[in-house]
Amino acid sequence: MKIGFLFGSGISLKAGYPSTSSVTETVITGKNIFRHTDGNYYFGKSPMAHTGFPEEYLSRVLIFLNRVKVESDLYYFPFPDRATNYEDLYYICNQIYDSETFNYDNPIVQTFIDKIMPDIKSLFDQRSSEIKSTWNLLELSSEAMNYIVDIVWHALNKDVKDMTYLSFLSECYKQETFENIYIFTLNHDTLLEQFFSSNSIPIQDGFNEPVNNVRYWNYNLFNSSKDKLSLIKLHGSVNWFRFNAEDNPKTVQIGIPLEWDFWHTKNPKGDLQYPIDGRPMFLAGTFNKMLQYNYGIWNTLHRQFYEVLNNSLDSLIICGYSFGDKGINTRLIEWMVGNPQNRILVIHPDLYNLKVSARGAISRNWETWKKENRLLTIQNYIENIDWKTIANTIL
């Protein structure tokens, strides 16, 4: 037998990771945030604060994001339960960036730009004592995206002490009836890796054994590994970084540094290497994520998701996911439609609100799947659930 799990951010809340609304509040206020000389944003007080020079970046980014948020708030105003979050802001900034670079043609974005331009045009001017002489919209939207990613990254990059509520996973692993267990997660944090490590459970996550304290991506491992448990992080992770390949500077390899100083790792030859982007690899935003699903490592991960669903699984346990990702939802619907034996178990403390807030394609199929006994539910928080309850419901 084989079984699969699909997790969203809700599964990490009990471990102390911040909620979407909490991260959004930090992004909007910029409280206790500074921009370092390495180009990244960090929590804390700037080491350059004593110099008296004006802050050039963060102040502009905050004004820009708050102006963008006004338009997003107006759009979502008719829906009281739908507030603008940092993912929405990133998506808007990404559309502006793509429009300015002509990466994706979208003529209607120019109308949005024209609307907000009178309120942000002063951000392009140099102020007294500033070093950077000029700004433009391309730079501002890019800086705003980097700022959001850095806030998310640092908010999620932490060790967890209490993970006992995930014990249903270790109990599942102990079941001899399962030949393979597949865990798909949309989370960027390392909660699951920490849990499995603390319980001495080996996992296959697509990365080789470490060389000079860096584990490098190898997509062949998913097919060649004999590990019982596979962890597929469909949106990347706070500890994935891009490096130049040792034998070809134009080729990129993705690695997980095992040292805290990701800026100064060594490649397999022992030479010093630096992360290309200076920040980790994970997907932020909303509908822009689906465009990335077709490229690079994301294409490989989502192809793995598709192949495992359609070739290996007839049962999928979903928890912490709000059914808001159209790309993921499409895969789930195709899988459910493709085989009448396939079933989903959804664990959530408020099933009614989950159903009505899910994107339309899921919401429309919800009751039909329930009547067919193919959508099973447990209305509770994940920390109150054990493996026996899960097994008795879906197996």
CATH of the domain at 232: 3.40.50.1220
Sheet containing 2-7: which strands, arranged edge to edge?
Answer: 229-233, 180-185, 2-7, 315-319, 343-348, 375-379
On whether both 181 and 268 belong to a single domain, the answer is yes
pLDDT at 52: 64
pLDDT at 54: 72
On whether both 200 and 326 belong to a single domain, the answer is yes
Condensed to tens digits (0 to 9), the pLDDT of residues 11-56 reads 999 999 999 999 999 999 999 999 998 999 999 988 776 666 778 9
CB 378 within 8 A of CB 385: yes
The one-letter code for the residue type at 83 is: A
On whether both 233 and 215 belong to a single domain, the answer is yes
Which residue range(s) make up the domain with 202?
Answer: 2-16+160-394
Condensed to tens digits (0 to 9), the pLDDT of residues 53-75 reads 778 999 999 999 999 999 999 99
Condensed to tens digits (0 to 9), the pLDDT of residues 334-380 reads 999 999 999 999 999 999 999 999 998 999 999 999 999 999 999 99
On whether both 298 and 324 belong to a single domain, the answer is yes
pLDDT at 242: 96
On whether both 210 and 129 belong to a single domain, the answer is no
Domains contained in the chain, number: 2
**Domain C-terminal end among 156, 175, 204:** 156
Q: What is the pTM of this model?
A: 0.94
On whether both 143 and 184 belong to a single domain, the answer is no
On whether both 62 and 174 belong to a single domain, the answer is no
On whether both 29 and 105 belong to a single domain, the answer is yes
Place of tokens 């102040």: 59
Share of the chain above pLDDT 90, in %: 88
CB 286 within 8 A of CB 262: no
Does pLDDT of 197 surpass 90? Answer: yes
DSSP state of 383: G
**Domain C-terminal end among 122, 156, 190:** 156
- 161 band by pLDDT with thresholds 50, 70 and 90: confident
Contacts for 20 with CB less than 8 Å, ≥ 6 apart = 9, 85, 86, 87
Looking only at the bridges linking them, the beta strands covering 2-7 and 33-35 are: unpaired
- Average pLDDT, rounded, for the chain: 94
On whether both 310 and 177 belong to a single domain, the answer is yes
On whether both 246 and 131 belong to a single domain, the answer is no
Does pLDDT of 290 surpass 80? Answer: yes
On whether both 150 and 205 belong to a single domain, the answer is no
Give me 315's structure tokens. 């049962």
Spatial separation of the C-alpha atoms in residues 60 and 37, rounded to whole Å: 17
pLDDT at 129: 83
**Domain C-terminal end among 130, 156, 182:** 156
Stretch 244-252: mean pLDDT, rounded?
A: 80
On whether both 182 and 317 belong to a single domain, the answer is yes
Spatial separation of the C-alpha atoms in residues 67 and 59, rounded to whole Å: 12
Euclidean distance between the first and the last CA atom of the chain, given in angstroms as a whole number: 10
